[in-house]
């Protein structure tokens, strides 16, 4: 066991070097965007609540923000299908202005790493209390430092629990002139 | 910790072997990406018929006897946008020697939008509206840009995936212009 204790370090270094070398090859890795699981969110009937959806762009890739700087670039967009009488709105984070090796003088507005899309959910008063699933797709188009990949759709799904609004506070009844002890 | 020389030698050998294997594999992968079986280097480039933005029917075989730079691109591809002005210059520079650049737009955008994009970049070569079947014939173009250099004899001289430098593009053009020249001269 002791005789081989020195092997893993150079092997790991080598593996890391090879991984770096192969990462530079366009198409070696497939771009990915994944969504973190979202716990069921409680939303009150008649009120707007926000559900944060967290996404992660694979290392070495970027995707356009929702407001890319060129009309030809494909913005990241979330389309949701909500049950009737549940009104949804989507708020995108600001992208990061970054230049890339393929165009050092031009900045693109992109998402890299982790980003969060805020979804506002407002069940109308007519919605029956209970759990509802909201489904949709996140459309994105990814590039690395030398190539771009066709647009993709990531299925998105999360659950909300619609609850009744608490009853409005009642007016204080008239105070008894008597002192209760 | 005492180091056993046998272990050190073994480690050194292993590292050397893995380095050699890793770099060999990396080079193979770079050549195989989207590797188009029928149009591997030296193979005949698959013929196709596509519509150009100005409504003409264009076949690859129409350009037999010329060196063809076949560039798959899209309006949403920023690296493609970088190399297209180079193609414009290189078409001017080498057109007289028999180079023909052809762009294939693998795009969902309308032909009008593609035309606007190309016009903004001053494109001086035919742009064809791509079809998936043509991409498939060229190995399933999975990312862009993808460029095929085709010699005067219709054979693939080189294929390049992702953005490369202008110098590399020019070198490949020279190779394509050179390939099949002897055959051409005999005709």
**CA nearest neighbour of B163 among A27, A102, A59, A105:** A102
- Has residue A21 got a pLDDT over 50? no
| pLDDT for the residue numbered B28 | 41
| Three-state secondary-structure class, residue B173 | helix
- On the question of pLDDT at B45 being above 60, the answer is yes
State whether B64 and B131 are in the same domain.
Answer: yes
What's the pLDDT score for residue A166? 84
CATH, residue A115: 2.60.40.10
Per the structure, the complete domain to which residue B28 belongs is given by 1-32
**Identity of the residue in A6, A14, A21 whose CB atom sits nearest the CB atom of B7:** A6
> Is B79 close to A147, i.e. CB distance below 8 A?
yes
DSSP state letter for A67: S
Average pLDDT on B115-126 reads 96
Specify whether B79 is located in the same domain as B159.
Answer: yes
Question: Are residues B70 and B116 located together in one domain of the fold?
Answer: yes
| Total number of domains constituting chain A | 1
B44: β partners: B155
Return the closest-CA partner of residue B36 out of B137, B149, B151, B143: B137
CATH number of B113's domain: 3.40.30.10
Q: In angstroms, how far is CA B131 from the centroid of its own chain? A: 17
Q: Is residue B19 within 8 angstroms of chain A, CB to CB? A: yes
Provide the pLDDT for residue A1. 39
Percent of chain B exceeding pLDDT 90 equals 70
CB contact under 8 A, B75 and A72: yes
pLDDT category at A3 given cuts 50, 70, 90 is very low
Q: What tokens appear for A109 in the block?
A: 């507005």
Q: Is A151 on the interface with B (CB under 8 A)?
A: yes
3-state secondary structure of A5: coil
**Average of per-residue pLDDT across A50-74:** 96
Chain A environment of B78 (Cβ under 8 Å): 73, 100, 102-103, 106, 108, 143, 148
Tokens for A57, please give them: 């762009």
How many domains does chain B divide into?
2
Portion of chain B with pLDDT greater than 70, in percent: 79
Mean pLDDT across B142-147: 95
Please tell me the predicted confidence (pLDDT) of residue B68. Answer: 98
Residue A179 lies inside a defined structural domain of this protein? no
User: Are both B65 and B137 inside the same structural domain?
Assistant: yes
Most B-contacting residue of A28, A142, A148, A151 (CB-CB within 10 A), to test interface: A148
The answer to whether position A26 is within a domain reads: no
For the cut 50, the answer to whether the pLDDT of residue A4 exceeds it is no
pLDDT computed for residue B72 by the predictor: 98
Query: Per-residue confidence at A36, pLDDT binned at 50, 70, 90?
Result: very high
Across the interface, of B7, B15, B144, the residue whose CB is closest to A147 is B144
Indicate if B81 and B118 belong to the same structural domain: yes
Let me know: does B97 contact B130? Beta carbons within 8 Å: no
Reading across the β-sheet that carries B67-73, which strands appear in turn? B127-129, B99-105, B67-73, B146-150, B156-161
**Pairing, β B127-129 against β B99-105:** parallel
Query: Which residues form the domain of A73?
Result: 31-163
A147-180 pLDDT, tens per residue? 999 999 999 999 999 999 888 777 766 565 555 5
Stretch A136-151: mean pLDDT, rounded?
A: 96
pLDDT at residue A75 tops 70: yes
Would you call B22 and A147 a contact, using CB atoms and an 8 Å cutoff? Answer: no
Q: The dihedral of CA B163, B37, B29, B168: what is its sign?
A: negative
pLDDT at residue B31 greater than cutoff 50: no
pLDDT at B71: 98
pLDDT for res A134 = 97
Tell me how crowded residue A163 is: count the other CB atoms within 10 A of its CB. Answer: 14
- Is the pLDDT reported for residue B108 higher than 50? yes
pLDDT, average across residues A74-92: 96
Which pLDDT score, from 0 to 100, does residue B175 have?
96
Q: Which of B79, B130, B135, B140 is nearest to B105 (CA)?
A: B130
Give how far Cα B105 sits from Cα of A126, A157, A170, B60, Å. Answer: 49, 34, 67, 15
Q: Is B122 left (phi over 0), alpha (psi -120 to 50) or beta?
A: left
Give the ipTM of the model, two decimals please: 0.76
- CA A179 → CA A171, A175, A176, B13, distances in Å? 20, 10, 7, 95
pLDDT surpassing 90 at residue B32: no
Determine the residue of chain B that is closest to A108 in CA distance.
B78
- Inter-chain CB proximity A6 and B143 less than 8 Å: no
pLDDT per position as a tens digit, B150-177: 999 999 999 999 999 999 999 999 999 9
Model confidence at A85: pLDDT above 50: yes
Residue A176 lies in a domain: no
pLDDT at A79: 98
């Amino acid at each position: 066991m002791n005789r081989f204790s020195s092997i893993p370090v150079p092997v790991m270094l080598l593996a890391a070097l090879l991984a770096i070398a192969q990462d530079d090859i366009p198409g070696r890795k497939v771009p990915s965007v994944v969504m973190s699981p979202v716990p069921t969110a409680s939303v009150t009937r008649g009120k707007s609540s926000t559900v944060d959806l967290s996404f992660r762009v694979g290392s070495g890739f970027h995707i356009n923000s929702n407001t890319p700087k060129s009309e030809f670039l494909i913005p990241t967009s979330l389309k949701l299908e909500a049950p009737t009488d549940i009104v949804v709105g989507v708020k995108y984070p600001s992208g990061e202005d970054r230049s890339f090796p393929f165009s050092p003088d031009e900045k693109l507005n992109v998402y890299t790493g982790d980003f969060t899309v805020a979804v506002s959910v407002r069940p109308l008063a007519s919605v029956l209390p209970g759990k509802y699933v909201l489904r949709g797709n996140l459309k994105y188009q990814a590039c690395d430092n030398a190539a771009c990949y066709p647009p993709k759709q990531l299925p998105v799904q999360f659950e909300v629990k619609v609850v009744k609004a608490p009853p409005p506070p009642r007016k204080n009844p008239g105070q008894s002139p008597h002192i209760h002890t | 910790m005492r180091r056993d020389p046998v272990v050190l030698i073994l480690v050194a050998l292993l590292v050397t072997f893995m380095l050699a294997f890793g770099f060999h594999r990396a080079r193979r992968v770079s050549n195989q990406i989207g590797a188009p079986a029928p149009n591997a280097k030296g193979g005949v480039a698959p013929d196709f018929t596509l519509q150009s933005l100005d409504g003409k029917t264009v076949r690859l075989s129409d350009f037999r006897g010329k060196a063809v730079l076949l560039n798959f691109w899209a309006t949403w591809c920023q690296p493609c946008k970088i190399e297209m002005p180079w193609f414009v210059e290189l078409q001017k520079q080498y057109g007289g020697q028999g180079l023909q650049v052809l762009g294939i737009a693998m795009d969902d955008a309308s032909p009008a939008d593609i035309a606007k994009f190309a016009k903004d970049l001053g494109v001086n070569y035919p742009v064809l509206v791509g079809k998936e079947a043509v991409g498939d014939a060229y190995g399933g173009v999975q990312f862009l840009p993808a460029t095929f250099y085709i010699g005067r004899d219709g054979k693939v001289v080189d294929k390049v995936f992702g953005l490369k430098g202008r110098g590399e593009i020019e070198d490949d053009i020279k190779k394509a212009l050179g390939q099949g020249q002897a055959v051409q001269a005999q005709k």
